[in-house]
Chains A and B, each alone.
Chain A
Amino acid sequence: MNPLSVKAYDLRQDVLDIIVSGGGGHIGGDMSSMEIVLTLYSRMNVSPERADDPDRDRFVLSKGHCVETLYAVLAWKGFLNIEEVKARFSRFGSEYIGHPHNTLPGIEMNSGSLGHGLSVCVGMALAGKMDGKAYRVYTLMGDGELAEGSVWEGAMAANHYHLDNLCAVVDRNHLQISGLTEQVMTPGDLSARFAAFGWHVIEVKDGNDVDQLSAAFDEAENTKGQPTVIIADTVKGKGSALMENKASWHHHLPNAEEYEIISRELRERKEALLRE
C-alpha cells in the first residue's frame, strides 16, 4: 500500500474542514483531483525553503476552483499552515480566497478563469528551454475546461516548441456544474484530440490511484521532443458515496449531518487502506 494513498484521505478531511469552515467550495473537483495534486507534489522539486529557486518545478492549477485541494497539499508540503487555512478560508479580508493567488507561498500564478493555465505553462516551459534549465512544468485542467478555445491555442504552441518539459493533466471526472460533460458539450475522443495536436498521450485508468499516476508521471518525464498529457479518469466527489459521481456536489456545501457521514466514510476508507 502506498502511504500517499492514505495521506490522500487525511487531506480530503482537511478539504472538507476548509470548505465547511469557509462556508463554500468546490468539493466535487477537489475530491476527484486529490491524488493527482498529491502525487505531483510528492515528486516535484519544490520546497518552502527554496520557494524562489529558479530551478524549481512549476505547477499551475488551471482548474483554480479546486483550490481547497491545493491548500491542503501545500500545507502538507509545509508552504501553508493548515489550521490557519481552515480558520481563515473565505473570511472577510482573508488571503485564503476561493481561487489560487500568488501572494501566498507556493502558488505561482493566479487562476480561476478557466483555460489560462496551459498557455501560462507554455511560457514557463519556454523560459526553461531558453535558459537551459531542467525544471519541469505541470498544469491541471478540468475536463469541462477543455471547452475553452484558449486551451487548444496553448496545446498547439506546446507542440510547436517541442515542450517536453511540460506535462498537462486532465482531471477526467466526467462531470461539470450542469451535468455530464458529454451532455453539456461533447468532448469527443480527448486522447485523439491531444494526439492530433502532437502530444504524447497517457491514459490513466484510475486517476485516483497514486501508483498509476506515478507511473504516468515517470513516462511523461521520459518522453522527449513533445509535451505529454495525462488523461486521468477520476471519480468526482471521490471519498464518500454521498458525493461520488453527482454533479450536484460540484460546489455543494455539506450540512452538519452530511459532514459527519463524509468524515466517517473518509475514516473508514483510510482504515481499509491501512489494513491492505
Chain B
Amino acid sequence: MNKIPNRAVMCEVLKEAAAQDRNVVVLCSDSRGSGSMTSFAEGYPKQFVEVGIAEQNLVSIAAGLASCGKKPFTVSPASFISTRGYEQCKVDCAYSNMNVKLVGISGGVSYGTLGMTHHSAQDIAAMSAIPGMRVYLPSDRHQTRKLFEALLRDRQTAYIRLGRNPVEDVYEENNVPFEMNKSTVLSEGTDVLLVACGEMVKPIQDAAKLLNEAGISTGALDMYCVKPLDKEGLLNAAAGKKLVVTAEEHAPFGGLGSMAAQVISANDPKRVINLALPDSPVITGTSKEVFAYYGLTGAGIADTVKKALGK
C-alpha cells in the first residue's frame, strides 16, 4: 500500500526545480501544511510567499509575479482557490495569459467529514469553462511527478487538482507512459470502455480487471488531462464499444463525464453512463466511505457495467 500522497511528490518536484531555477516560486494561503509545502518553505524561503487566508489575493499576487517572469505555483485547498479565487483565476491568470499554476489540494471529497464547505465537486466544471485554462487531475504519485515536470516546462496557466490522501499506484515507478495533454490507455478491451481522472482512475483499473475476469472485455482510459480533452484518444478508445462508463469525484454536471459524453455523442454516438458524486451535499464519511456509498469503487463500477449490460 502506497503511503506517499501526490501532494508530497509535487513538493519534491518543485524543490528540485527551485534549486535549479530561482524563478520557481510557491505561494500558500496558510496552507503549507495541508499542501505538503512546509519543507519547500523552509528550504527555499526566498522563493516562498505566504499570503495568509486570502485566496483572491493569492491568485492575483501569483499573476503579478508571473507577469514579471516568475513561475508561480499557488498551493491552496481546491474548494477555496477554485471558487473564492475563481474570478482571479479567470481574469488575472487565464484572460491575462499569465504562467500561473493553480494547484487545488485536498480536492474532491478529500476532507471527508468536514462537509461541503471543504469539498470541491465543482472545480472541474468551473475551471474548464474558462477559455485558456487547462485542467489536470493526476491519478497517482508517479504520474503526478511526470505532470509537474511537464508543467514546469510550459508557460501557460493551468489548474491541477490533487487529493489529500495517498492513493494506490496505477503505474509502476519505471513504467509511466505519459504524454502531455494525451490520455493514457491502461488496458484494452472490446466491449466496454471505462474512463476516469484523478482518484477514480485506480477504481476503473480495478473494475476493468474484475470485468475481464467475468468475461466482459473492458478497456480503461486515464484521462488525467480533462481540458484540453484528448478527443482523438477518447474516440479511438471508445471505437467499437457497446458502452462507455465515466467515473469522477465531481458533481454530475460539467465534469469529465459531461465532456466525454459531448464528444462521443457528436462523433460516435453510443450509450454513455456518467458516474459521479450526487447533486447534493455528500453523505458524511471519509473519502473511501463516500466512494463506496456512491458506487465509485472497482466493484461498484463493475456492478454498474454488468447491470447496464443485463449481466
Contact = CB atoms under 8 A, between A and B. Distances in A.
Interface of A: 54, 58, 102, 108-113, 115-116, 119-128, 130-131, 149-150, 153-154, 156-157, 160
Contacts of B70: 123, 127, 130
B65 interface: yes
Interface string B78-92: 000000000110011
Contact of A122 (B22, B47, B60, B96): B60
- Shortest Cβ-Cβ A-B pairs, 3 listed: A123-B64, A119-B60, A127-B68
Given A54-B69, A120-B92, A156 B64 contact: no
13 contacts: A110-B96, A116-B92, A119-B57, A119-B88, A120-B61, A122-B64, A123-B67, A123-B70, A126-B61, A127-B68, A149-B56, A150-B88, A157-B51
Given A116-B88, A116-B91, A156 B54 contact: yes
A152 B57 CA distance: 9
B51 A120 contact: no
A54 B68 CA distance: 7
A167 to B, nearest CB: 14
Contacts of A111: 91
Contacts of B67: 58, 108-109, 120, 123-124, 127
Given A126-B61, A130-B70, A153 B96 contact: no
B69 A127 contact: yes
Given A150-B88, A153-B52, 10 more contacts: A109-B63, A113-B91, A119-B57, A121-B64, A123-B62, A124-B68, A127-B65, A130-B22, A130-B46, A157-B61
Nearest to A108: B67
* Interface of A, helix, strand, loop or mixed by DSSP: helix
Interface string B192-211: 00000000000000000000
Contacts, number: 98
Most buried by B among A113, A157, A160: A157
A127 B25 CA distance: 10
Interface in B85-106: 87-88, 91-92, 95-97
Given A113-B91, A130-B46, A156 B63 contact: no
Contacts of A130: 22, 25, 46-47, 70
Contacts of A154: 57, 60-61
A126 B64 contact: yes
A113 B52 contact: no
B49 interface: yes
A157 B91 contact: no
B125 to A, nearest CB: 20
Nearest to B96: A110
Nearest to A128: B68
A108 B66 CA distance: 11
Contacts of B54: 150, 153, 156-157
B40 to A, nearest CB: 15
A126 B64 CA distance: 8
Given A102-B96, A113-B91, A120-B92, A153 B68 contact: no
Nearest to A129: B46
Nearest to B46: A130
A243 B208 CA distance: 71
A109 B92 contact: yes
A150 B57 contact: yes
Contact of A119 (B46, B56, B72): B56
Contacts of B97: 102
Most buried by A among B62, B69, B96: B96
Contacts of A150: 54, 56-57, 60, 88
A175 B56 CA distance: 26
Contacts of B92: 109-110, 116, 120
A211 B68 CA distance: 31
Given A119-B56, A130-B46, A150-B60, A113 B87 contact: yes
Contacts of B64: 109, 119-127
Contacts of A160: 52
A247 to B, nearest CB: 26
B56 A123 contact: no
A153 B57 contact: yes
A126 B60 CA distance: 12
B100 to A, nearest CB: 9
A102 B98 CA distance: 10
A160 B52 CA distance: 10
A130 B25 CA distance: 10
Given A54-B69, A128-B68, A122 B61 contact: yes
B87 A120 contact: no
A36 to B, nearest CB: 21
A47 B112 CA distance: 54
A126 B92 CA distance: 16
Nearest to A127: B68
A79 B94 CA distance: 24
Nearest to B100: A123
B91 A126 contact: no
Contacts of A121: 64
B12 to A, nearest CB: 23
Nearest to B68: A127
A153 B96 CA distance: 21
Contacts of B52: 153, 156-157, 160
Contacts of A102: 96-97
